[in-house]
């Protein structure tokens, strides 16, 4: 019985570590992806915005079990209780380098490289006893961890020589306009100010201020259960509201903005550089693999989301003998914070339970 993970990024690594912890051997799992290093795509974006710390807390890691979290690991390495004290108050934020060191250890210890195949999967098709990938390989259980479908750019800035996306390598001009108001935008405000630039934040609404990507209750069982009880239209409304831009509260974010070199505007005003901190394209239809899957099998959709079961599986293609699961941003119908490490592990654990049940039959 073979298992496939389609996607070689952080969500794929979370799934692989979870499956290995659940008893599967490397020769029972195949991971298909573009890059052997599961952190490579994420690191490129983090380096582009000069990110120093993670937005996630101690549980924001890729290991299979929640404990020990990154705060415990850091406290042991430094021989200091300070990270634990910060974690108790939900104020611990691991550095990017600490997170990458942890991910490298999980990759090495889990056997990731033994299972990885460098290949981009273009087509997933359900068959009687599982799923065919590009018509060549057949698997009983498949988890799609496809990542983001691409960078989002305002249509009016397409082809504009002044414009660069925040997640692409760039420096800063003397005058910079930053389009967007979320975490990447806030990071770019501070970066450009630190570089000596004058900064205009171009936004149409005020960002929310919250420590995590989404309200904290959505990371709890009770909050998630309430979300799962919503009907179709209400859930679409909630998911759309959760996409509102946000960045963390705190003096470290606020103090640098109290300068005449920073101001807010509703429209572009002709600065020599425009940074598009506008995130990624949204919706399953923006991903070629998911769009074809939905069309070929007439899957249920709601607005820009595939309708999933609470455990992140595709109901029409999952039964006692086979499993098709989604992880990452495309699994928001099941877990609103799917585009987080906590969300990746939520999907991975649901997938493992399905695989284990089939192994015992």
Per-residue model confidence (pLDDT) at position 123: 97
Q: What is the 3-state secondary structure (H, E, C) of 212-251?
A: CCCCHHHHCHHHHHHHHCCCHHHHHHHHHHHCCCEECCCH
Cα–Cα separations (whole angstroms), residue 128 to 138, 293, 317, 319, 340: 10, 16, 10, 11, 33
Look up the domain containing 202 and give its range. 155-207+245-276
Give the residue with greater pLDDT, 57 vs 219: 219
Domain identity same for 18 and 52: yes
Confirm whether 223 is domain-assigned: no
170: domain CATH number?
3.50.50
Per-residue model confidence (pLDDT) at position 1: 58
Q: Does 350 score more than 60 pLDDT? A: yes
The residue out of 229, 259, 276 marking a domain boundary is 276
DSSP string across 148-194: ---B---GGGTT-TTEEETTS-----SEEEEE--SHHHHHHHHHHHH
Q: Does 89 score more than 80 pLDDT? A: no
Confidence band, pLDDT 50/70/90 cuts, at residue 78 = confident
Confirm whether 216 is domain-assigned: no
Helix (H) or strand (E) holding 351: helix 341-359
Per-residue model confidence (pLDDT) at position 282: 95
Q: What is the pTM of this model?
A: 0.94
DSSP string across 116-144: EEE-----EEEETTEEEETTTEEESEEEE
290-340 residue pLDDT tens? 999 999 999 999 999 999 999 999 999 999 999 999 999 999 999 999 999
Q: Could you give phi then psi for residue 132, rounded to 5 degrees?
A: -95, 135
Per-residue model confidence (pLDDT) at position 72: 85
For the segment 61-70, the average pLDDT, to the nearest whole number, is: 88
Confirm whether 339 is domain-assigned: yes
Domain identity same for 82 and 190: no
* Lowest mean pLDDT across 72-76, 182-186, 233-237, 254-258: 72-76
Domain identity same for 21 and 124: yes
Confirm whether 231 is domain-assigned: no
Domain identity same for 296 and 337: yes
Average pLDDT in the chain: 95
């Amino acid at each position: 019985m073979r298992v496939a993970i389609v996607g070689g990024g952080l969500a794929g690594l979370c799934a692989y570590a979870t499956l290995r912890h659940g008893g599967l051997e490397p020769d029972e799992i195949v991971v298909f992806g573009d890059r052997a290093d599961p952190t490579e795509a994420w690191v490129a974006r983090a380096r582009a915005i000069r990110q120093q710390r993670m937005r996630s807390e101690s549980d924001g890691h890729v290991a299979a079990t929640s404990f020990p979290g990154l705060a415990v690991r850091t406290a042991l390495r430094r021989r200091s209780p300070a990270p634990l004290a910060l974690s108790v108050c939900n104020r611990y934020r691991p550095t990017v380098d600490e997170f990458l060191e942890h991910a490298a250890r999980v990759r090495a210890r889990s056997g990731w490289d033994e299972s990885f195949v460098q290949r981009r999967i273009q087509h997933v098709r359900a068959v009687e006893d599982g799923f065919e990938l590009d018509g060549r390989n057949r698997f009983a259980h498949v988890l799609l961890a496809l990542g983001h479908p691409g960078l989002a750019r305002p249509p009016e800035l397409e082809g504009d020589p002044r414009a660069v996306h925040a997640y692409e390598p760039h420096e800063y001009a003397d005058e910079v306009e930053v389009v967007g108001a979320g975490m990447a935008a806030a990071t770019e405000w501070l970066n450009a100010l630190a570089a000596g630039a004058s900064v205009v934040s171009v936004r149409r609404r005020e960002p929310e201020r919250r420590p995590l990507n989404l309200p904290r209750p959505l990371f709890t069982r009770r909050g998630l259960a309430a979300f799962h009880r919503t009907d179709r239209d209400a859930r679409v409304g909630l998911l759309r509201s959760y996409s509102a831009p946000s960045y963390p509260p705190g003096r470290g974010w606020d103090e640098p903005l109290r300068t005449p070199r920073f101001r807010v505007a509703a429209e572009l005003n002709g600065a020599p550089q425009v940074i598009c901190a506008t995130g990624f394209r949204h919706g399953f239809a923006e991903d070629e693999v998911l769009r074809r899957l939905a069309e070929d099998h007439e899957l249920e959709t709601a607005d820009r989301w595939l309708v999933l079961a609470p455990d992140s599986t595709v109901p029409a293609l999952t039964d006692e003998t086979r499993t098709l699961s989604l992880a990452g941003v495309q699994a928001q119908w099941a877990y609103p914070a799917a585009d987080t490490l906590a969300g990746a592990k939520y999907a991975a654990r649901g997938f493992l339970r399905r695989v284990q049940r089939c192994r015992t039959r």
